[in-house]
Amino acid sequence: MGIIFSEKTKEFHLYNDQISYLMKIMRNGQMGQLYFGKRIPQKDNYDYLTENTYRPVSAFVYENEYSFSLEHLKQEYPSYGTTDFRMPAVEVSQQNGSRITNFQYVSHKIYPGKPALEGLPATYTQADAEADTLEILLRDELLGVELTLLYTIFQNENAIARSARFQNNGDVDYQLTTAMSLSLDLPDDDYEWIQFSGAWGRERYVKSRRLQQGIQSVGSTRGASGHFHNPFVVLKRPQADEFQGEVMGFSLVYSGNFLAQAEVDTFHVTRMMIGIHPAGFSWCLKPGGSFQTPEAVLVYSDGGMNAMSQTFHRLYRTRLARGVWRDKERPILLNNWEATYFNFTEEKLLAIAKTAKEAGVELFVLDDGWFSTRCGETSGLGDWWPNTERLPNGVQGLSEKIEALGLKFGLWFELEMVNKDSELYRSHPDWILRTPDRSVSHGRKQYVLDFSRKEVVDYIYIMTAKILRESKISYVKWDMNRNITECYSTAYEACQQGEIFHRYILGLYDLYERLTSEFPHILFESCASGGGRFDPGLLYYAPQAWTSDDTDAVERLKIQYGTSYAYPLSSMGAHVSITPNHQLGRSTPLKMRGDVACFGAFGYELDLAQLSAEELEEVKQQIRFVKTYRHMIHTGSFYRLLSPFEGNITAWMVVSEDQKHAIVAYFKVLNDANCEYRRIRLKGLKEEICYRVTDEYAQSDDFYGSELMQVGLITTDSSAGQPLGEGKYGELCTDFWSRMVLLDAVD
Ligand code: DGJ
């Protein structure tokens, strides 16, 4: 790994064993992009990578010359209007009304390690040798504004982290109206664009299309990364698939408004960018003021989509998530939400917890409804003290009783919100985000606290910390159930109102930082009406997130499969719930529900006392399984084998770090009659190792890794021509059928 700068050619080469990233200081002093992809050798110069031939109708930078037009040049952090007409990475609105800028190279620094980004989540290194960083300082002389482009290349991952920092050294205000985290011009458009989109209950579905001339984008303007699109997109060569071919992933470490965009120009150049959504954004750069963009992470794979995902998994699990819970086995929890909703008493909770303990559950989580007057959606948010009618001895008393049962105790909060019917709102009606003299919209009968104001965040911190100090709390579920409307803060000047969405997120991160630092032993799980804020920004503070409110096992196949493209299994909260399922009314076997959920941060979302004795035995078996395999599931390499978006059968597998063990999960949604013979070629095994292959239905057999990867695992079941009830899997093979296959190296 290294970063080379050639004084002669003004070229930078960032490289590790696998990838190269090449840039150049162009003739006009701005930064040009030369190459990003698989590692190429270091050469004396890369002049051949700059193509800038004359084109009719272009505009040219230098008088009486037709040789230099930014319209044709691949750039690093482009601006609009000086011969480049594409969407810019940066736009600065100036006092005379101009938006033209010219950020030219001044100097650069190369150093080992990676800097933290003030107030923002970011990937990190534990030792300087893990990464090298390049900071390129550019300046617009006319404005006196400096722009620093930050690049970190990791030694052992095909990943580059990027961000940009602005500093106003001039003597007047400027409005920064666009400041992307990453912009990358690629020389062609032969890509499929893949986005992870959906809605509440169907988050992160995989959607793809060929890039076309023009702009394609996804984003959020909701004040949260959102259910609808994820701040993560992929460019994949059309012939690449899960196992081979060239793929690039673009991920934004941020939880607020974002834009991910590809613009294909008329010469088939693709400009990729990702960062804070420019819609509604502006930042007033006052003299002496600065602005740091969030971090974007760029991953390259020439081993297909799975290899890209595995890079994100390792990086986000071990160098984005922090704290004691980063590497610890996650407790098996039981959450009371779907068991009781708002309708509970302490007695009822203790009864649920007792059965949970008997089954082997490790953590009991009390969800919404435990505080002040909160017995439904209309009141109480903002008043974080216990409802002593429901919990006579408060949270403290309940937490002690839960611990006395031998369980850990966890608690739900929704700290960013307030109901009008609350003490907090009555005392501070001006603490919500709203535009003066206009009506304010509600979502779920609640309003958004103005987290851009420090005094608001301080107040919430004090209340929350008091409860966390007083009670025996080991886990916090941090929910957020509506998006921001009428975004405006009375605490800021008119010219700063474009900052409020971002300042809100900075306030949120500040609160997370304070609470996670003061209570390092607490496991935080983020949530936003299910998976409405499942993003890398929050993984920095909370190493797991509630993946979706939809707990139906069939739906979860798609949700967890889509989520796995960027996020590790350890980050995906996944619970077994009751049937008929509360979101869909579908009944699936307990086995399938457990088999899907164990590929995540596992738990239950039901009253186990409602189950039959037989089902309870099955639950105990599931818990034993998870306790045995959770470490391997969370730290191993995950391979998607068959996609739920493409057919009736889904399959995936996890291979342990030492490649001696693996679990293959196979899900058939609907049974089929007289179907074809089936086999799946497994991945990630060692060819020469002989594995004992065991499943819950049949005698074990031994196969070499090479056989399992070349010939495949036979998955033909009794639906291949046999009458129902006969054959290898007998009557067990019906609709919603799942099979877990264990592979263990034979000594
Ligand atoms: C939405 C969450 O996604 C649910 O799990 C639950 O915590 C409710 N909020 C409680 O209001």
Q: What is the DSSP string of 652-704?
A: EEEE-TTSSEEEEEEEESS--SS----EE---S--TT-EEEEEESSS--EEEE
Q: Report the chain's C-alpha Rg in angstroms.
A: 27
Do residues 638 and 310 touch, judged by C-beta distance below 8 A? yes
Known catalytic membership, residue 701: no
3-state helix, strand, coil in the chain (%, to 5): 20, 35, 45
Q: Active-site residue among 549, 550, 695, 717?
A: 549
The per-residue pLDDT for 672 is: 87
At residue 293, the 3 state secondary structure works out as coil
- Ligand 1 centroid to residue 365 C-alpha, Å: 12
Q: What is the dihedral of CA 307, 159, 40, 149, to 10 degrees?
A: 160
Find how far residue 340's CA is from the centre of its chain: 29
Task: Identify the bridge partners of residue 301 per DSSP, sorted by sequence position.
Answer: 247
Q: Active-site residue among 302, 479, 535, 595?
A: 479
CA 251-252-253 angle, to 5 degrees, is: 120
- Ligand 1 centroid to residue 134 C-alpha, Å: 43
Angle between helices 394-404 and 454-470 (to 10 degrees): 40
The CB density around residue 663, as the number of other CB atoms within 10 Å, is: 21
Known catalytic membership, residue 549: yes
Helices (H), 187-300: none
Pocket mutation for ligand 1, best pick of 333, 479, 546 (most atoms within 8 Å of C-beta): 479
Query: Can you tell me which atom of ligand 1 is nearest the CA of 337?
Result: 6
What residues contact 421, with CB distance under 8 A and at least 6 apart?
373, 378, 379, 380
Residue nearest to atom 2 of ligand 1 (CA): 529
- Ligand 1 centroid to residue 477 C-alpha, Å: 9
The per-residue pLDDT for 697 is: 76
Q: How many CA atoms lie within 13 A of 447 on its CB side?
A: 27
- Ligand 1 centroid to residue 549 C-alpha, Å: 7
Pocket mutation for ligand 1, best pick of 529, 544, 583 (most atoms within 8 Å of C-beta): 529
- Ligand 1 centroid to residue 591 C-alpha, Å: 25
Helices (H), 471-585: 500-518, 536-539, 553-563
The CB density around residue 202, as the number of other CB atoms within 10 Å, is: 18
Tell me the residue type at 509.
Y
- Ligand 1 centroid to residue 547 C-alpha, Å: 11
Query: Can you tell me which atom of ligand 1 is nearest the CA of 528?
Result: 3
The per-residue pLDDT for 114 is: 98
Find how far residue 58's CA is from the centre of its chain: 40
What whole-number distance in Å separates Cα of residue 18 and Cα of residue 11?
A: 19
Query: Can you tell me which atom of ligand 1 is nearest the CA of 412?
Result: 7
**Structure-token pair, residue 531:** 């998976």
Consecutive H or E run containing 545: strand 544-546
The per-residue pLDDT for 727 is: 59
The per-residue pLDDT for 718 is: 72
Consecutive H or E run containing 525: strand 523-526
What whole-number distance in Å separates Cα of residue 379 and Cα of residue 286?
A: 41
Residue nearest to atom 1 of ligand 1 (CA): 529
Tokens 């080991």 map to which residue? Answer: 474
Weakly modelled stretches of the chain, pLDDT under 70: 720-732
Find the residues whose C-beta lies inside 6 A of ligand 1: 337, 367-368, 412, 479, 481, 527, 529-530, 546, 549
Pocket mutation for ligand 1, best pick of 337, 370, 525, 546 (most atoms within 8 Å of C-beta): 337
